C-alpha cells in the first residue's frame, strides 16, 4: 500500500530544496529534477474511466498535481505520436505521419534530437523501457541514441502481454507465458531496478516508460482477470453510431452502417481488457514511487502520465483511431512534482509541449527546433499566461494504402470497396472553440467545422449545409489561414 506521505511528497513548492523552472540560479546536477515519463497506448480521454482502474496513479499524480482537460495528439496513431512525444515536433517536422516506415524515417532523422539525446547531453542518466516506434518489434537489433538503459519490446506477440522479446542494452531476452513474464510487470521490475541504481548517483535521471496497455489484444495480468470492469458496458456517447449524412465521403461512403453485433462485441472486449490491463500500470507507477521514496528521491521527481492517442468505440460509426475527432485525439495528461500546483487546467495543450516542458524543468536553454511550448508556467499556476490560440492535427495515409486524394476515395466508393480501417490524408486546426478539418491532399477537398462549445460530440458539420456554411464563412476563412501557417511551421513559428 502506498503510504499517504508518498502522495504528499509529490507536492513540493518552489523555494524548497530543489530548483524550479524559471529560477534565477541554475541547479546543480544533485538538485536537478528527475523525471518519470509514462505513456500508455490507445487511451482516450472522452469515454474510458481510466482513473477508476488506476486509483494509486490518480492519488499520486492527478490528485496532487495538474490535470489537463484539453490535451491533444497531433497525429492520433502510435508511430507519429511517439515521434512527437520524443522530440516536441509536429509530424511534418519529424516526417513521421503514419505507422508504415516511420521507424526508419525517425532513425535516420530526428532520433538524434530526442529527449534522451538532449537530456543525456545535459548530464542526465536516461532510460527507455517499453514500446518504441512501430516496426521496431520486428527488427529490434537497433539501440537508438541517447539512452543509457534500453529495454525495447519486440516480437510479433508483444502486444498480447506474454511471449515476446526485448532488446536489453543490445542483448535479446525472451519472456514466455509465466505470470512473472507479463509485460507491464517486467517493465515495473526493470524500472524499479533502474531507480535503485540511481540512488547513489549525483546525476538526475529520465525514466521513460511506454507500456502497451491498454492497446488490444493485451489482457489483464492474471492476478487482475477477475476485476470489477469485466462486466462493464462501454459508456454511452451521443455520437455512437451517428447518422453520417453530413460527414465526408470517405466516412459515409466506405464505413457507413452501424456497428454490427460482432463489432460491438469486439469493441466491448477491447474496452474491458484495456481497463483490466491498466491495473498493472497502476501497480507499476505505485512501485516506482515507493522505491523513489525509499531512496529519498521522491520529493525531487516529476511524474508525467499521458497516452499516445485515443480510441473510438463506435462514435461517428468509427472503429478505431487515426481520425481527427475528439475520441481519437483527446488524451489524458496529468503532471505532479516539485513546484506543480494542484489544479485542473483547460488550456489547449498538445504532445509537442511535453519535450520542451522537460527541457525547461531540467534547466536547458530553449531548443529552437522544438515546435511546442513549455507547460512550466501553467504547472506553477501562473496567472495571465499568454498561450497559443490553436494547434495542428495532421495525418497522411500509408504507402501501402494510397488513400490520399478525393479521387482515391471516389474510386474505392464507386467500386463498392472497403477502406479496411484506412483514413485519407487530412489537416485540422483545433482551437478552444472550433475544430476545422480539411480532407485530402491535392486540389479537391471536403471540409468539416464544429463549434465545440455548443456541439462537443461533433454531430453537426457546419460546412455541410449551405446556410450554416455561409453563416460561418469568416470563421472558416480564418481557420484556413491558421491551417496553412501551422502546416508549414517550424520551431518558434509554431508557437
CATH of the domain at 187: 3.40.720.10
User: Which residues does the annotation mark as catalytic?
Assistant: 78
Residues 404 and 364 in one domain: no
- Name the band, by pLDDT with cuts 50, 70 and 90, for residue 30: low
Give the end of a domain, one of 352, 379, 406.
379
Number of domains in the chain: 2
Residues 110 and 202 in one domain: yes
Residues 322 and 397 in one domain: no
How many angstroms separate the CA atoms of 44 and 386, rounded?
28
Residues 364 and 400 in one domain: no
Residues 307 and 419 in one domain: no
Give the end of a domain, one of 359, 379, 399.
379
- Name the grid cell of 277: 490491463
Give the end of a domain, one of 379, 408, 433.
379
Question: Is residue 17 included in any domain, yes or no?
Answer: no
Question: Is residue 159 included in any domain, yes or no?
Answer: yes
Domain of 396, in residue numbers: 391-494
Q: Are strands 312-313 and 319-320 parallel, antiparallel or unpaired?
A: antiparallel
How many angstroms separate the CA atoms of 38 and 219, rounded?
19
Q: Is the peptide bond before 66 cis (omega within 30 degrees of 0)?
A: no
Residues 56 and 201 in one domain: yes
User: Minimal CA–CA distance to 43: which of 51, 32, 35, 33?
Assistant: 51
Question: Is residue 195 included in any domain, yes or no?
Answer: yes
- Asked if residue 380 lies in contact with residue 405, where contact means CB atoms within 8 angstroms, the answer is no
pLDDT of residue 77: 96
pLDDT of residue 412: 79
Give 442-485 pLDDT, tens digit per residue.
999 999 999 999 999 999 999 999 999 999 999 999 999 999 99
Question: Is residue 406 included in any domain, yes or no?
Answer: yes
How many angstroms separate the CA atoms of 21 and 60, rounded?
21
pLDDT of residue 165: 96
pTM of the model: 0.93
CATH number for the domain spanning 438: value is 3.30.1120
Question: Is residue 385 included in any domain, yes or no?
Answer: no
Residues 125 and 241 in one domain: yes
Question: Is residue 97 included in any domain, yes or no?
Answer: yes
Residues 299 and 412 in one domain: no
Residue 151: beta bridge partners? 129, 168
Residues 463 and 315 in one domain: no
Secondary structure (3-state) at 56: helix
How many angstroms separate the CA atoms of 418 and 413, rounded?
8
Residues 396 and 375 in one domain: no
- Asked if residue 476 lies in contact with residue 437, where contact means CB atoms within 8 angstroms, the answer is no
Give 4-19 pLDDT, tens digit per residue.
333 333 333 233 323 3
Q: How would you class 350 by CB atoms within 10 Å of its CB: exposed for 0-12, middle for 13-18, buried for 19 or more?
A: buried
Question: Is residue 262 included in any domain, yes or no?
Answer: yes
- Name the grid cell of 114: 530526442
Residues 250 and 337 in one domain: yes
- Asked if residue 187 lies in contact with residue 106, where contact means CB atoms within 8 angstroms, the answer is no
Residues 33 and 91 in one domain: yes
| 166 dihedral zone (left: phi>0; alpha: psi -120 to 50; beta) | beta
pLDDT of residue 319: 84
Q: Are strands 66-68 and 312-313 parallel, antiparallel or unpaired?
A: unpaired
Amino acid at each position: 500500500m502506498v503510504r499517504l506521505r508518498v502522495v504528499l511528497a509529490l507536492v513540493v513548492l518552489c523555494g524548497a530544496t530543489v530548483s524550479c523552472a524559471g529560477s534565477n540560479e541554475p541547479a546543480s546536477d544533485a538538485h536537478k529534477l528527475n523525471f518519470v515519463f509514462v505513456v500508455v497506448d490507445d487511451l482516450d480521454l472522452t469515454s474510458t474511466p481510466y482513473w477508476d482502474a488506476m486509483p494509486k496513479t490518480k492519488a499520486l499524480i492527478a490528485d496532487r498535481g495538474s490535470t489537463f482537460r484539453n490535451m491533444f495528439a497531433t497525429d492520433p496513431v502510435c508511430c507519429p505520436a511517439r515521434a512527437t512525444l520524443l522530440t516536441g515536433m509536429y509530424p511534418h517536422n519529424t516526417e513521421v505521419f503514419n505507422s508504415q516506415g516511420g521507424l526508419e524515417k525517425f532513425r535516420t532523422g530526428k532520433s538524434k534530437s530526442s529527449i534522451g539525446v538532449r537530456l543525456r547531453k545535459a548530464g542526465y542518466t536516461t532510460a527507455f523501457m517499453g514500446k518504441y516506434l512501430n516496426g521496431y518489434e520486428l527488427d529490434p537489433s537497433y539501440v537508438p541514441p541517447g539512452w543509457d538503459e534500453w529495454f525495447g519490446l519486440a516480437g510479433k506477440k508483444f502486444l498480447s502481454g506474454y511471449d515476446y522479446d526485448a532488446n536489453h542494452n543490445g542483448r535479446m531476452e525472451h519472456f514466455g507465458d509465466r505470470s512473472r513474464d507479463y509485460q507491464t510487470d517486467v517493465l515495473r521490475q526493470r524500472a524499479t531496478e533502474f531507480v535503485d541504481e540511481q540512488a547513489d548517483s549525483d546525476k538526475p535521471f529520465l525514466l521513460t516508460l511506454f507500456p502497451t496497455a491498454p492497446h488490444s489484444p493485451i489482457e489483464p495480468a492474471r492476478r487482475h482477470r477477475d476485476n470489477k470492469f469485466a462486466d462493464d458496458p462501454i459508456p454511452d456517447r451521443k455520437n455512437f453510431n451517428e447518422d453520417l449524412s453530413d460527414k465526408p465521403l470517405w466516412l459515409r461512403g466506405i464505413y457507413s452502417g452501424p456497428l454490427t453485433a460482432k463489432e460491438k462485441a469486439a469493441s466491448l472486449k477491447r474496452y474491458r481488457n484495456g481497463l483490466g490491463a491498466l491495473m498493472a500500470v497502476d501497480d507499476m507507477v505505485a512501485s516506482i514511487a515507493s522505491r523513489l521514496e525509499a531512496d529519498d528521491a521522491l520529493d525531487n521527481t516529476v511524474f508525467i502520465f499521458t497516452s499516445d492517442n485515443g480510441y473510438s468505440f463506435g462514435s461517428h460509426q468509427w472503429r478505431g483511431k487515426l481520425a481527427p475527432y475528439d475520441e481519437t485525439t483527446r488524451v489524458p495528461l496529468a503532471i505532479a512534482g516539485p513546484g506543480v500546483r494542484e489544479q485542473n487546467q483547460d488550456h489547449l495543450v498538445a504532445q509537442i509541449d511535453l519535450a520542451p516542458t522537460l527541457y525547461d524543468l531540467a534547466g536547458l536553454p530553449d531548443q529552437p527546433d522544438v515546435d511546442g511550448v513549455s507547460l512550466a508556467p501553467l504547472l506553477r499556476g501562473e496567472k495571465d499566461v499568454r498561450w497559443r490560440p490553436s494547434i495542428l492535427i495532421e495525418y497522411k495515409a500509408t504507402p501501402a494504402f494510397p488513400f490520399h486524394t478525393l479521387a482515391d476515395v471516389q474510386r474505392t466508393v464507386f467500386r463498392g470497396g472497403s477502406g479496411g480501417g484506412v483514413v485519407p490524408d487530412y489537416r485540422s486546426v483545433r482551437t478552444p472553440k472550433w475544430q476545422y478539418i480539411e480532407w485530402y491532399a491535392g486540389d479537391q477537398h471536403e471540409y468539416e467545422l464544429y463549434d465545440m462549445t455548443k456541439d462537443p460530440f461533433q454531430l453537426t458539420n457546419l460546412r455541410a449545409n449551405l446556410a450554416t456554411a455561409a453563416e460561418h464563412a469568416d470563421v472558416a476563412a480564418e481557420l484556413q489561414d491558421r491551417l496553412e501557417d501551422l502546416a508549414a511551421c517550424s520551431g518558434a513559428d509554431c508557437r
